[in-house]
Amino acid sequence: MTVAALVLSTLASVPIHAAPAPAPSASAGASLQGALPCVVETRWLNDDIPSIDRSAPQPLVLFTATSTDCGATTTLSAAYFDRQDRLVCSGTVSLTIPVNRTRPYRHIELNAGNVYQFLRWVNGPSRTARQWSALECRTPDDTGEVHPTALAGASRLRLHATTRAPGDIGTTEVTLELR
Amino acid at 177: E
Rounded to whole angstroms, the Cα distance separating 22 from 13 reads 24
Lowest-confidence segment of 21-25, 31-35, 87-91 by average pLDDT: 21-25
CATH number of 37-177: 2.60.40.10
pLDDT over 60 (residue 6) = no
Lowest-confidence segment of 29-38, 92-101, 163-172 by average pLDDT: 29-38
pLDDT, residue 128, reads 63
Rounded to whole angstroms, the Cα distance separating 136 from 133 reads 10
83-101 mean pLDDT? 89
Q: 37 vs 157, which has greater pLDDT?
A: 157
pLDDT, residue 65, reads 87
Rounded to whole angstroms, the Cα distance separating 60 from 109 reads 6
List CB contacts of 168: < 8 A, sequence separation 6 or more. 37, 38, 39, 40
pLDDT, residue 103, reads 78
154-172 mean pLDDT? 92
DSSP 145-177: BPPGGGGGGEEEEEEEEEEEETTEEEEEEEEEE
> How high does pLDDT run on average in the chain?
79
118-125 mean pLDDT? 83
In the chain, pLDDT over 70 holds for what percent of residues? 77
In the chain, pLDDT over 90 holds for what percent of residues? 33
Q: 106 vs 82, which has greater pLDDT?
A: 82
> Model pTM greater than 0.95?
no
Q: Confidence class of residue 161 from pLDDT cuts 50, 70 and 90?
A: very high
